[in-house]
Structure 1
Amino acid sequence: MPELPEVETVRRTLQRLVPGKTIRRVDVFLPRIVRRPAEPESFARALEGRTFTGVERRGKFLRFELDGLVLVSHLRMEGRYGLFPEDEPLEKHTHVVFAFTDGTQLRYRDVRQFGTMDLFSPGEEFIEGPLHKLGLEPLSDEFTFEAFRNKLAGSETKIKPLLLNQERIVGIGNIYADEALFRAGIHPERSANALKLPELKRLYEAVKSTLTEAVEAGGSSVKSYVNGQGEQGSFQYSLKVYGRKAEPCSVCGTGIEKTVVGGRGTHYCPRCQPRKK
């Protein structure tokens, strides 16, 4: 699933491509992608004649801003957007097409068919939509150490699944949780309330640095992820533990181990990230 760096990279790409484009027609080929309004015909009619004004992000969600509406989209496992000439044949698994008046099309393709789209009046998406319970944005000014510490305070939950909890901190998924915990030297099964102040500070800095560097690298293309122009990211070449089971740790040479924490495959170095009581 695309995490914050991948979604942010897609957002930046689309921000260069779609603002100012006016929708002539919308075709929905897989109705279940559209959740609000429930009828694809109503979704299409509401968007026809609207002009994109910007593309923002909240956690792992994209927010397409139009004149008078907001389209909230979640890519889920393998959703992707791309801008194409209207005369280029549709790829298989293309489920929604936004045809523009300038002869181009924004196409949404999703092999796994798990992605979602919801339409709202501006501001409404933060009140009752999929965004209203989301937590701290880790690359925003609001993500201070005190705010981070408060989100973890008192929890007996293991730190790995707590980092994945989108109601605490948004955008962190399996890849970047593993990488941040490695950088901080914290075992993924440690309880959050057992972490000492220096450990929390290391983890806070590790979350910020890992996500920042991943965004700068265009994300991690470990599976099918590409940005809005079909380009892969490169942060996968900088991963220290994720996907490196049995390979030597880049710091100490110990073999990277893989376990399951909170139902998720988890990579860590047993020497650099000792499990403490």
Structure 2
Amino acid sequence: MPELPEVETVVRTLRKLVLNKKITKAKIVYPNLLKQPTDTQQFESEITGQKILAIERIAKHIIFVFQNKVLISHLRMEGKWFFEPEGAQTNIKHQEAYFIFDDGMQLAYYDTRKFGTLHWQDIDNFREQKPLVTLGPEPFSELVTPNYLAKRINKSSKHIKTILLDQTIISGIGNIYDDEILFAAKIHPLKLGADISQIDFENIIDSSRDILAKSVEMGGTTIDSYQSAHGIDGKFQNFLKVHTRVNKPCLECQTLITKIKVNGRGTYFCPQCQVL
């Protein structure tokens, strides 16, 4: 699943490809992709003739900015945007939407799992609507402080692994980086929120920022569950210290990395470096 660094990589790629291009035709092939509005013909009519003025990212969401509207794209598990010649069908079985530009190219959305979503909303209030209104601040935000985390977490009976995946508390962290952050912070994934100390909060924040920034710089992580479009592979998978490394020696203490399930999510950690 693409997380903050992977979505940032997609956004930076799309900016180079489709910024300032005018849409001459739009087609929603898979109606369930479009969550708002539910009338696909209305959406296709409204977006036709519009120019993409900017492309931004909020947490794991891609924001295509138009004059009075935004199109919010969430890739979910395996969604991908492809910039290709008009009429191209990179994977016709999984094509869910396409947008043709006035230069003979198109931006097409493909999704093998069909979990991705699109929301077409007014630019003046889209942050106050779902899906963005419930999001917590990103790890890079000045709002994310030890005191902020303490207020949101220190009475929780949930495991810290699960808490960091809660996008209403901190947005942008997914399963891969959750494991890496907890390893860097030397916190066991089964530790309860109520048992997290002030030092733990500080370490979580520092580790989150360091790891996510490094991954963004390297184009994200490319593993079997997610690969970006256009042959753009991230490099951060070469620096993973616990995730996917089950039964391999810890890079710091040589103890074998363990894999468990935490709230249904595969979780990797070092039992020596991350003592419960």
Query: For this structure pair, what is the TM-score category when the shorter chain's length is used for normalisation?
Result: over 0.9
Moved more, 232-241 or 9-18: 9-18
SS of equivalent residue, structure 1 residue 52: coil
Deviation, structure 1 residue 102 = 1.3
Write the distance in 1 (CA, Å) between the matches of 2:151 and 2:210: 20
Deviation, structure 1 residue 52 = 0.4
**Where do residues 56-205 of structure 1 align in structure 2 (5 Å cutoff)?**
56-86=56-86, 88-92=88-92, 93-205=94-206
Paired letter, 2:191:
R
Deviation, structure 1 residue 167 = 0.4
Q: Report Cα offsets for 1:35-69 as digits up to 9, x if no partner.
A: 11112111111100000011111111111101111
Write the distance in 1 (CA, Å) between the matches of 2:227 and 2:30: 22
State the TM-score, normalizing by the size of structure 2.
0.95
User: What's 1:50 paired with?
Assistant: 50
**Using a 3 Å threshold, how does the CA distance of structure 1 residues 224 and 258 change in structure 2: closer, same or farther?**
closer
Give ranges in structure 2 of 5+ residues lacking alignment.
none
Say whether 1:23 aligns with 2:26: no
Paired letter, 2:100:
A
Q: Report Cα offsets for 1:163-220 as digits up to 9, x if no partner.
A: 0000000011110000000001100000122122222211211111111111111111
Deviation, structure 1 residue 25 = 0.2
Paired letter, 1:273:
Q
Paired letter, 2:24:
R
**Using a 3 Å threshold, how does the CA distance of structure 1 residues 198 and 90 change in structure 2: closer, same or farther?**
closer
User: What's 2:33 paired with?
Assistant: 33
* Number of equivalent positions: 275
Deviation, structure 1 residue 91 = 2.4
Conserved? CA contact 2:139–2:205, under 8 Å: no
Deviation, structure 1 residue 228 = 4.9
Deviation, structure 1 residue 33 = 0.6
Paired letter, 1:34:
L
Write the distance in 2 (CA, Å) between the matches of 1:29 and 1:99: 13
Q: Report Cα offsets for 1:104-154 as digits up to 9, x if no partner.
A: 111111111111101001133222221110001112343334334433232
SS of equivalent residue, structure 2 residue 57: strand
Paired letter, 1:158:
H
Conserved? CA contact 2:89–2:95, under 8 Å: no
State the TM-score, normalizing by the size of structure 1.
0.95
Conserved? CA contact 1:13–1:229, under 8 Å: no
Paired letter, 2:63:
R
**Using a 3 Å threshold, how does the CA distance of structure 1 residues 116 and 177 change in structure 2: closer, same or farther?**
same
**Using a 3 Å threshold, how does the CA distance of structure 1 residues 101 and 212 change in structure 2: closer, same or farther?**
same
**Using a 3 Å threshold, how does the CA distance of structure 1 residues 203 and 223 change in structure 2: closer, same or farther?**
same
**Using a 3 Å threshold, how does the CA distance of structure 1 residues 89 and 165 change in structure 2: closer, same or farther?**
closer
Moved more, 81-90 or 210-219: 81-90
Write the distance in 2 (CA, Å) between the matches of 1:159 and 1:51: 43
SS of equivalent residue, structure 2 residue 21: coil
**Using a 3 Å threshold, how does the CA distance of structure 1 residues 226 and 259 change in structure 2: closer, same or farther?**
closer
Deviation, structure 1 residue 87 = 5.2
Paired letter, 1:172:
I
User: What's 1:3 paired with?
Assistant: 3
Write the distance in 2 (CA, Å) between the matches of 1:138 and 1:191: 20
Write the distance in 1 (CA, Å) between the matches of 2:202 and 2:72: 33
